[in-house]
Every structure is written in structure tokens, then in C-alpha cells.
């Protein structure tokens, strides 16, 4: 079925005869596979007598061989799936049998996860979904500022494919034109005081265009910002390269060496914000981050630092 989809991904018309010949199957078999594509993957396919079949909109599927080569250069194994519940969940499952580092990616997710228990909308072959599993010797102190460093790597990868109006938002988001384009989710496994493992999940809205009712905040995608279809393989390759670069800098130099770069790209630097943790809310002006990646706020009680996975930050005038 996916072999047929790769033939159709250009968005052009293809006759049933030509598709059948390319796949070595009958026209009726092509028709059945087209129905499955619509039913299983939710793809809209135009069927025009005398012209053939085409996707309502072109897509960009991952080139696994190119991605495999890039991961090998980085010293990572690659596990690539057509569809999966969650790349983070799969990476966590694989830790019992496969030694990190390894990257898990998929064309689509049925149960993608975001921060604070939220769902991550994951339509087939439209966005980038990947999770990198790493081993940390010496305990979780090596996590200091890690999610912020990953944000920088994603920022650079998106700039590499042509996005300019983009920046980071503490702690784990990237915004383009003021709208969310990327989320980052870190999950730990093992002993935080000794040998532990971290799974770095990255979701990038790449070619999604339709309004997703499940998303409860303003969002955008690379395609919406650029006006053209983004080659997901090219973006994935840049992400692998940038992650390798920034993770190595973090490993050898620590977050302090990247702190200034992160603050220079923080969209809400110097802005008045509201920091929420459950029912508690703190107002203040963003001063930056400390050497561990905690948010520094100038509040009515003076300068305060905040960190933690359940915190949410928004601009004061949006509250």
C-alpha cells in the first residue's frame, strides 16, 4: 500500500494501468489499495475518468535509506515505522533490548504525546515525528538545560530549510510568526543518581495545513510559513545533523556555553509573562535562564528561578 502511496506522493495524475504496471498488480488491486489509503490513512484521493488518480494534495514521505546513512554517520541506529502509537513510547520500550543511541521515527502516530499529558496531532506523512534515545552516565545532572539545547538544534534545522521568523519559548516550544511549530518532550528511564536514559521527542509541524480541532493553541507549519511543500527527508537530515552538533557541545561544554545563544533566540526575553503551575500563577518579567536552564523572572518579590515539567508560560497580555 505504501509503495502505491510513494508513486502518488507528487500530487500528479497517474493512470490505473501505469500504477498497476509499476507495482506488478492488476488495476483492480490498485483500486482496492486506493480505498485502503483513504480509509486507513485518511488521505483524500481524486479519481477522474480518463485521467486516473492523484492525491488531493502532494505529500513528502521519508527516504529511509538517506536517513539511515545520516544516522550511521552520527553513530545512531535508526528504527523507522510507517505508523506507530508514539515514537517516544517505542523508544522507551526498546531500551530494554537495544542500547542507545538510537533514533525512532514514523510517518504517522496514533497516540502522539506532548507535554503535560497532552496529545500531539500526528497526521500521516505530514509532519516530522522522531525520538532520540541516549544513555547518561553519572546521573540526571547531565540533563541541565538539555531541553533548551535541543530547542536550539531544532531552531537551526528549521532555519536551514528556510524559516526565518522563528524562535524558542521556554521551556520546550518553538514558535514561527508567533505560533507553535515544534514541541519537545523529554522522558527519563533508569536511576537518576547513576546510569539513566533520556528519550528526546521532537514533533515538527511540517506540511500540515488543515485546521486540527484537537490543537488548543495557535499553530503553524513549515509549509504554511513558506508557502511550498517541505521535503520531510531534508528537514529530518538537518535535524539529525544539528542534534548531533548541539548535543556534543552540551556534553563537552555544558549548558553554560550555550546559554547566551539560547537567550538571544528567546522570543519572550524581557517580556512580562505569567508562569502557571496548577492553580498557582506568578507574574514577572523574563530576565533569561540560569546555568541549569531554569527560567529567571523579575517578580514583585525580586528575582526568582523556576524549573519543572508542569510549568506553563504565557505572555501577560494573553492571560
Residues forming the annotated binding site?
Answer: 86-88, 109, 113-115, 180
What is the crossing angle of helices 146-160 and 232-253, to 10°?
140
Angle at 133 (CA atoms; ends 132, 136), nearest 5 degrees: 130
End-to-end CA distance of the chain: 47
The DSSP secondary structure of 227-288, one letter per residue, reads SS---HHHHHHHHHHHHHHHHHHHHHH-GGGTHHHHHHTBTTTT-EEEEEETTEEEEEEEEE
Distance CA 202, CA 72 (A): 19
User: Which residues are documented as binding site for biotin?
Assistant: 86-88, 109, 113-115, 180
Residues 167 and 175 sit within 8 Å (Cβ to Cβ): yes
What are the cell numbers at 220?
503553524
Residues 273 and 169 sit within 8 Å (Cβ to Cβ): no
What residues contact residue 236 under an 8 Å CB cut-off, 6+ apart?
Answer: 62, 67, 70, 105, 128, 130
What are the cell numbers at 248?
556534543
What residues contact residue 35 under an 8 Å CB cut-off, 6+ apart?
Answer: none
Per-residue CA distances from 79 to 75, 104, 140, 199 (Å): 13, 5, 25, 14
Residue with grid cell 522570543, as numbered in its chain: 267
What residues contact residue 51 under an 8 Å CB cut-off, 6+ apart?
Answer: 13, 15
Residues 275 and 313 sit within 8 Å (Cβ to Cβ): yes
Amino acid at each position: 500500500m505504501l509503495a502505491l502511496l510513494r508513486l502518488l506522493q507528487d500530487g500528479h495524475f497517474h493512470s490505473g494501468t501505469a500504477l498497476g504496471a509499476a507495482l506488478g498488480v492488476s488495476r483492480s488491486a490498485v483500486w482496492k489499495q486506493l480505498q485502503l489509503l483513504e480509509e486507513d490513512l485518511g488521505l483524500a484521493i481524486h479519481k477522474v475518468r480518463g485521467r486516473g488518480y492523484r492525491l488531493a494534495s502532494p505529500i513528502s514521505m521519508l527516504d529511509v535509506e538517506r536517513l539511515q546513512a545520516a544516522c550511521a554517520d552520527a553513530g545512531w541506529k535508526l528504527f523507522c515505522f510507517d505508523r506507530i502509537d508514539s515514537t517516544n513510547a517505542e523508544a522507551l520500550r526498546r531500551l530494554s533490548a537495544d542500547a542507545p543511541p538510537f533514533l525512532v521515527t514514523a510517518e504517522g502516530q496514533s497516540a502522539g504525546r506532548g507535554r503535560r499529558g497532552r496529545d500531539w496531532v500526528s497526521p500521516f506523512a505530514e509532519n516530522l515525528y522522531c525520538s532520540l534515545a541516549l544513555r547518561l552516565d553519572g546521573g540526571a545532572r547531565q540533563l541541565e538545560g538539555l531541553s533548551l539545547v535541543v530547542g536550539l538544534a531544532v531552531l537551526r534545522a528549521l532555519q536551514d530549510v528556510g524559516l526565518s521568523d522563528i524562535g524558542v519559548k521556554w521551556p520546550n516550544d518553538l514558535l514561527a510568526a508567533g505560533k507553535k511549530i515544534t514541541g519537545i518532550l523529554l522522558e527519563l528511564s533508569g536511576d537518576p543518581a547513576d546510569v539513566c536514559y533520556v528519550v528526546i521527542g521532537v514533533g515538527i509541524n511540517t506540511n500540515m495545513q488543515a485546521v486540527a480541532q484537537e490543537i488548543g493553541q495557535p499553530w503553524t507549519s513549515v509549509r504554511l510559513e513558506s508557502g511550498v511543500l517541505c521535503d520531510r527527508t531534508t528537514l529530518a537530515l538537518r535535524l539529525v545533523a544539528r542534534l548531533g552538533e548541539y548535543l556534543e557541545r552540551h556534553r563537552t561544554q555544558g549548558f553554560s556555553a550555550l546559554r547566551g545563544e539560547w537567550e538571544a533566540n528567546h522570543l519572550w526575553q524581557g517580556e512580562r509573562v505569567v508562569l502557571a503551575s496548577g492553580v498557582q500563577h506568578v507574574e514577572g518579567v523574563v530576565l533569561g535562564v540560569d546555568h541549569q536552564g531554569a527560567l529567571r523572572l523579575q517578580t514583585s518579590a525580586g528575582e526568582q528561578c523556576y524549573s519543572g515539567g508542569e510549568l506553563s508560560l504565557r505572555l501577560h497580555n494573553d492571560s
